[in-house]
Structure 1
Amino acid sequence: MEQSGTNGHLVDSRARGSNQSGLRAHNERAVLSLIRRYGELAKADIARRTGLSAQTASVIMRALEAEELVIREKPRRGRVGQPSVPMRLNPDGALSLGLKIGRRSSELVLMDFIGRIRASERRTYAYPMVEDIRDFVSVAFESLVNGLDAKLRGRVTGLGVAMPFELWSWAEEIGAPAGDMAGWRDFDVTAELEAMTGLSVHLANDASAACAAENVFGTGGASDFVYFFVGAFAGGGIVLSGDLMLGRRGNAGALGSLPIPRRQGGSAQLINFASIHVLEKMIKSEGGDPLMIWRDDAAWDALGPILDLWIETAAYGLAYAILSAHAVNDLAAAVIDGGFPRPVLERLVEATRDIYRGLDQQGLFPIRIEAGSVGMDARALGAASLPFFARFLMDQRAPYAERAS
């Protein structure tokens, strides 16, 4: 959102600065947030968009450059006056780690300051056990961080964690023996991982983190959209006017709980239609190994009619969920992503469009249904962004999402 400044220019209200003393940290966040959003900006552009004086903007830019958080590009000469010098984020200026703890797999990624994944480690399992996650993080952290030179190791800002809330409550659904996942109930993820890594740890719901990654790093461009991430169980989020909606207790956008009408009557939650867990049950009923799809992307190619049936089932649930979300929020787009190969995602999106076209949409404007642009790494990428937003940026579109009591 932009508002008119005192000099007649438009000021970006998300990054409004202050010329008062004592607000250097706030102003630096404002400047870094703008550069992240636009890719590169010259000092004059920064002053105009923040409402800061040219002198204040210059002081901030010199400080950020001295800290190696930004890099200057080659001067660009305009028609009149001095050439402008665009500044961009330094990819090596800060690094962060993102941990996705899922019901079938975990992933740890190392991300640079412009959102690129530098390296990653992944482990699959039948179900997550506390001790297995401890072991995975210990091994993966050693691999990712100790491979850096000393200077870059010192720039690892923190660890973001994306995981389902109340992970212990999903034991029956994922086939875990009774009691095996009870350890998660009393496991203090933040405290344990801070002790293991020596880093500050920031926690978010996994679906909210994925939605934030699409919102911040995605290329779709919509500022109002509903987001579905189809993992072991479906989840998602809502973005309105560019902001991720978290809700009073951090549970807004719990799309997996939406009621979907069954063709044979009655209803069930979206997770019973658009979840990889549903595909696992289909594979098992045909005598196959449902865990194969978590170990090898290529295994999806061999599923044949089972995959066809699952796509149709998932698309049916997603189409009705999109209709409900759109009726409430008047959205521009519905974005679908998931933990499976891109060709499967494209088929799922097209099938969802086909079914949605056949639903009664009276009273609603058209909505775009499109594939997410971040992909399978969305949850880990969203997690890795948390330390950056906690320390350097002020963009409200990230999930500072420790659940309220």
Structure 2
Amino acid sequence: MVDAGHSARGSNSAQLRRYNERIVLQMLRKAGVASKADLARSAKLTNAAIGGIIQAMIDDGLIIETGKRHDGGRGQPATLLKLAPRGAFSFGVRIDRTSLETVLIDFEGKVIGRRAHDMILPPPDQALDIIEKDLDGLKTLLDPEEQNRIAGIGIAQPFNLGAWLHDLGLPPANFMKWDDYDPEPDLAARCGLPTFRENDGTAAAVAELFYGHGRHNDDFLYLFLGPAIGGGLVLNGDVVRGVTGNAGDVAMMPVQHGKLSTAPEKKKPWDILLSRVSLVSLARHLDPENFSSLSRLDLQAAYDDDRPEVDEWIDDCIDALTPTMRAAHALIDLPVLVIDSDLDGGFLRDLSQKLKTALEEAAPEARDTPDILTGSFSQDAGAIGAATLPLFFNFSPRATILTGGKVHGSAGAAVHEEGAA
């Protein structure tokens, strides 16, 4: 079993070495491949120190040699290293109001297997029965030795599942039973694996940080446009959770009421972004009487067929997103905005280009506009985000490893202690 990293491993020297190991893993994750000399220079460690770290992780099966670099110079060609794809594994569970999905990923973030159920979310006990069965089935895709390399189970779910049901066109069903229920300890007890839970927007942002644009960007605001809209905030190469785990919850940002004829009835002076920028609001505009029955494939087909209602809805989304994103940029001064969605094809390209134009036109004097990047995982973002959580907590060079939970200093360089490496 991979150590979940919640308790100290002994001496400060051992903690420092562990931290440096994670720095090396992060460098390989970002670079893809690197030589020992590359890693030593980047980590500012001696060749002897980096050699010990590399050998230990090769012995642990976390990194592998992957050929030689022939640059035409004298001397022996450099051995290239990379993450071992099957060096670690992780389960991800995405719990949503209308679906359950479980995936198994490898150390490179690639999906090995998945189980999915489109259904109105059942009560917690029934949902855990389904999830446990799916986890058992996916586990058989690994041999017995590989099963010992499972880092844990990540859970991604919207918080406050019983809220905003009218806006989402959903019946009361069993959602209220989830509002005061945390599935993390019960699933851990059932499966005997370390379990981690995050808001679904934050979890998707972790996947983008670990395996997507975060390999080249340490600071960005992440948006995911699904049935609702979610988000996450990445600063200094780490995810910001907030006091309640809802940092980056853009769905609750206040906006003016929309102008679409299908917009919900005005109940308050201000609306929230969720009501205007979500795939539910698109479905409502496409078919006001039966919008709750439209699937993701129905919405994708409407975009692919160039239905005019889609363009009308996108224009309303841009009208709502522009002031909220300008406000977010003014508050946090982020250089990058990453947008992903359950819809693919050219949808994100069109939305991103229109938003970029609108943000540039709305930019105040002497202020720039963040770069807008399309996300890396499309409809897989939630499930891969959930599965990334155990890998993030096991293998990310978070400063809390060294400070007992108190963040101190930067995670951007290796830590030095005489003899620690």
Match of 1:343 among 322, 340, 346: 346
Secondary structure of residue in 2 paired with 1:97: strand
The structural deviation recorded for 1:28 is 2.2
Secondary structure of residue in 2 paired with 1:228: strand
Tell me the amino acid that sits aligned with residue 228 of structure 1: L
Within a 5 Å distance, the mapping from 1:314-325 to structure 2 comes to 314-325=317-328
The structural deviation recorded for 1:284 is 4.2
Query: Comparing 244-253 with 189-198, which one deviates more in the overlay?
Result: 244-253
Give the structure, 1 or 2, with the largest relative contact order (CA under 8 Å, sep 6 or more): 2
Q: Given that residues 105 and 112 in structure 2 are in contact (C-alpha distance below 8 angstroms), is that contact kept between their aligned partners in structure 1?
A: yes
The structural deviation recorded for 1:95 is 0.7
Q: Given that residues 336 and 372 in structure 2 are in contact (C-alpha distance below 8 angstroms), is that contact kept between their aligned partners in structure 1?
A: yes
The structural deviation recorded for 1:171 is 4.0
Please state if 1:114 is matched with 2:108.
yes
Within a 5 Å distance, the mapping from 1:17-56 to structure 2 comes to 20=13, 23-56=16-49
Q: Given that residues 335 and 372 in structure 1 are in contact (C-alpha distance below 8 angstroms), is that contact kept between their aligned partners in structure 2?
A: yes
Match of 2:55 among 44, 52, 62: 62
- Structure 1: segments with no counterpart, 5+ residues: 1-17, 398-405
Residues 54-101 of structure 1 deviation map (CA, whole Å, 9 limit, x = unaligned): 223222212211121111122335523443212111101111111111
Secondary structure of residue in 1 paired with 2:197: strand
Q: 1:200 to 1:243 in 2, by over 3 A?
A: closer
CA RMSD of aligned residues (A): 2.9
- Residue aligning to 1:223: 218
Secondary structure of residue in 1 paired with 2:231: strand
1: CA distance between counterparts of 2:133 and 2:180?
23
Within a 5 Å distance, the mapping from 1:1-150 to structure 2 comes to 20=13, 23-78=16-71, 79-127=73-121, 129-150=123-144
Tell me the amino acid that sits aligned with residue 221 of structure 2: V
- Residue aligning to 2:148: 154
1: CA distance between counterparts of 2:16 and 2:334?
36
Q: 1:183 to 1:288 in 2, by over 3 A?
A: closer
2: CA distance between counterparts of 1:156 and 1:315?
42
Question: Structure 1 vs Structure 2: percent identity of aligned residues?
Answer: 32
Q: 1:387 to 1:378 in 2, by over 3 A?
A: same
1: CA distance between counterparts of 2:50 and 2:199?
36
Please state if 1:201 is matched with 2:195.
yes
Tell me the amino acid that sits aligned with residue 294 of structure 2: M
The structural deviation recorded for 1:202 is 0.7
2: CA distance between counterparts of 1:268 and 1:354?
24
Residues 6-36 of structure 1 deviation map (CA, whole Å, 9 limit, x = unaligned): xxxxxxxxxxxx9956643333222222222
Q: 1:393 to 1:334 in 2, by over 3 A?
A: closer
Secondary structure of residue in 1 paired with 2:155: strand
- Residue aligning to 1:271: 274
Within a 5 Å distance, the mapping from 1:246-395 to structure 2 comes to 246-262=241-257, 266-285=269-288, 287-288=289-290, 290-294=292-296, 299-300=301-302, 301=304, 304-359=307-362, 361-395=364-398
Q: 1:242 to 1:307 in 2, by over 3 A?
A: same
Q: Given that residues 126 and 291 in structure 1 are in contact (C-alpha distance below 8 angstroms), is that contact kept between their aligned partners in structure 2?
A: no
Q: Given that residues 363 and 369 in structure 2 are in contact (C-alpha distance below 8 angstroms), is that contact kept between their aligned partners in structure 1?
A: no
1: CA distance between counterparts of 2:70 and 2:96?
51
Aligned residue-pair number: 379
1: CA distance between counterparts of 2:373 and 2:45?
38
Q: 1:191 to 1:327 in 2, by over 3 A?
A: same
The structural deviation recorded for 1:302 is 5.7
Q: 1:388 to 1:68 in 2, by over 3 A?
A: same
TM-score normalised by structure 2 residue count = 0.80
Residues 241-277 of structure 1 deviation map (CA, whole Å, 9 limit, x = unaligned): 4333323433221211112233669532111111122
Please state if 1:245 is matched with 2:248.
no
Tell me the amino acid that sits aligned with residue 243 of structure 1: D
